[in-house]
């Protein structure tokens, strides 16, 4: 896409105007604060969350679940994909399961994980893992099967063996595919963590959300949504840095 220069200036300005209108209509009594609290009220809720310090334990819970689930999900997804690509029998057995898991909205497994693993962190990690691992499995599995055969032949004719093939062709290819779907995976990991907490938990941003819902606290709810957005954007940026570092050849 060809971006016009200073797009962010216009975007920021539009956002500021929107906020101003929103705030003004709130103060003018045009919006019901119960449903649509003004930005200042959301900010106040956010300040209160941090000011009282009670946000940290929730952030920690969600982060642990999401990042743990992300790492574990990538590891499991990539590992299973590699084994499946090398052992036809594994592919035969695993692929239908993955296809099935891919077809259903995987968050419906959340209650099941609560029964199996309790309301602690592990059930959230498990949900994030399932979300991420299935995505990674397909990314890497199809990727390995479509690895550029010319590169494979190039390595062979230059005198490289199996180890060289894995090191110079397969690993970089896998890294590229994993990087390509990292952003989606990060989103999935947080979805898993938050939804898991939403279903049953005693800590976490998802738990806070469900608390806000049960008390009809729209300001708190929007504050948490905002917080999650900021957190994910920061992680995206970090992922982007990593991607640029690892894929600087592309």
Q: Which residues bind other proteins (CB under 8 A)?
A: 148, 150-151, 153-161, 164, 168-169, 172, 176, 247-250
For residue 217, give Cα distances in angstroms to 30, 42, 52, 198.
Answer: 19, 10, 17, 15
Are the C-beta atoms of residues 233 and 183 closer than 8 Å to each other?
A: no
**Residue 78 or 189 having the CB closest to other proteins:** 78
Beta carbon nearer to other proteins, 6 or 249: 249
CB of 247 to other proteins, least distance (A): 8
Q: How far apart are CA 42 and CA 39, in angstroms?
A: 5
Hey, what are 122's tokens? 């592990």
Q: Would you tell me how many other CB atoms lie within 10 Å of the CB of residue 112?
A: 13
- Residue with smaller CB distance to other proteins, 154 or 244: 154
- Dihedral of alpha carbons 105, 108, 114, 117, sign: negative
The nearest distance, CB 153 to other proteins, in angstroms, is 6
Helix, strand, coil in percent for the chain, rounding step 5: 80, 0, 20
Q: Which is nearer to other proteins, 2 or 250 (CB)?
A: 250
Beta carbon of residue 154, minimum distance to other proteins (angstroms, whole number) = 6
Of 39 and 160, which CB lies nearer to other proteins in the complex structure?
160
CB of 169 to other proteins, least distance (A): 7
Q: How far is the CB of 137 from other proteins (least distance, A)?
A: 23
């Amino acid at each position: 896409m060809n971006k016009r220069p200073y797009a962010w200036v216009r975007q920021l300005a539009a956002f500021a105007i929107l906020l101003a209108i929103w705030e003004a209509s709130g103060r003018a009594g045009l919006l019901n604060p119960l449903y649509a609290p003004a930005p200042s009220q959301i900010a106040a809720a956010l300040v209160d969350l941090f000011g009282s310090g009670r946000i940290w334990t929730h952030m920690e819970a969600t982060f642990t679940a999401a990042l743990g689930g992300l790492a574990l999900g990538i590891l499991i997804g990539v590992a299973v994909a590699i084994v499946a690509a090398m052992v036809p029998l594994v592919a035969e057995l695993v692929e239908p399961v993955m296809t099935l898991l891919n077809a259903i909205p995987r968050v419906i497994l959340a209650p099941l994980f609560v029964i199996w693993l309790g309301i602690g962190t592990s059930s959230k990690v498990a949900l994030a893992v399932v979300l991420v691992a299935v995505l990674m499995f397909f990314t890497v599995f199809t990727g390995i099967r479509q690895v550029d055969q010319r590169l494979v032949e190039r390595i062979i004719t230059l005198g490289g063996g199996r180890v060289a093939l894995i090191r110079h062709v397969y690993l970089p290819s896998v890294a590229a595919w994993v990087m390509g779907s990292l952003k989606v995976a990060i989103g999935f990991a947080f979805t898993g963590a938050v939804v898991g907490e939403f279903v049953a938990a005693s800590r976490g941003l998802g738990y806070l959300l469900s608390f806000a819902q049960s008390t009809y606290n729209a300001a708190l709810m929007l504050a948490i949504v905002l917080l999650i957005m900021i957190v994910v954007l920061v992680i995206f940026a970090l992922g982007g840095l990593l991607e640029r570092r690892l894929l600087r050849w592309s």
